[in-house]
Amino acid sequence: LEISSIAKINLSQLLDKQQAIDLLSTAYEQIKGLNDKLLQQQLLIFLVQQSKENFPSMTWNALQELSSLPELKKHPRQYSQLFGYQSHLYFHRGKLEDALALIQRAIFIAQQEPDLLMLWEWHQGKILTSIDKQAALSAYRRAESHLQKIRSSIPVRYVDGRSSYREMLSPLYMQ
């Protein structure tokens, strides 16, 4: 069931929008039926990560399901991701104050997770760009500082002379 859900989520990235929604919906229902709550948290987060750009309603449903899991607070990484990805949705809806409050909560919870801190500070910088340029710059600097802590653990691939590292992280430096 776990592998089936992961496969469906991954496959959804290759399909047209309606087929992707159908596959993500099936995966979502499978994930909701899992008895292993930690695995359920992890798979819901994976679903959110894969759906957040193109399927906000699916993302919202998965985040609501995630927030209802009683054991979530015992897992700071997943708990932080809940707020970070909620912030992402609010940001794209133009609700900057709500997005900022959520990302600040995600940052607070993720203190032992430098990869998440990099993402959340980066996201906070994007939010603050419209509110306070100086605070945005500070957030981007903190994101870059967190990046330096994890830089050596990021796998790098070269395709046609281009580095995956550069493609993945250049937006941090170009914002």
pLDDT for the residue 88? 95
pTM across the whole model: 0.82
Judge whether 98 and 134 are in contact, CB under 8 Å: no
Residues 134 and 10: their CA atoms lie apart, in Å, by: 39
What gap in Å lies between CA 87 and CA 114, rounded to an integer? 18
Per-residue pLDDT, 151: 61
**Regions of the chain with pLDDT less than 70:** 1, 150-175
Q: What is the structure's pLDDT at 67? A: 95
The pLDDT value given to residue 163: 45
Q: What is the pLDDT of residue 13?
A: 82
Residue 2, pLDDT score: 73
Per-residue model confidence as pLDDT tens digits over 158-170: 556 554 444 555 5
pLDDT at 169: 55
pLDDT at 97: 97
pLDDT at 30: 93
| 163: CB partners within 8 A, 6+ apart | 156, 157
CA distance 172 to 79: 24
The encoded tokens of residue 159 equal: 């395709």
Task: Tally the residues of the chain.
Answer: 175
Confidence (pLDDT) at 61: 94
DSSP state of 15: S
Instruction: Give the model's pLDDT for residue 80.
Output: 97
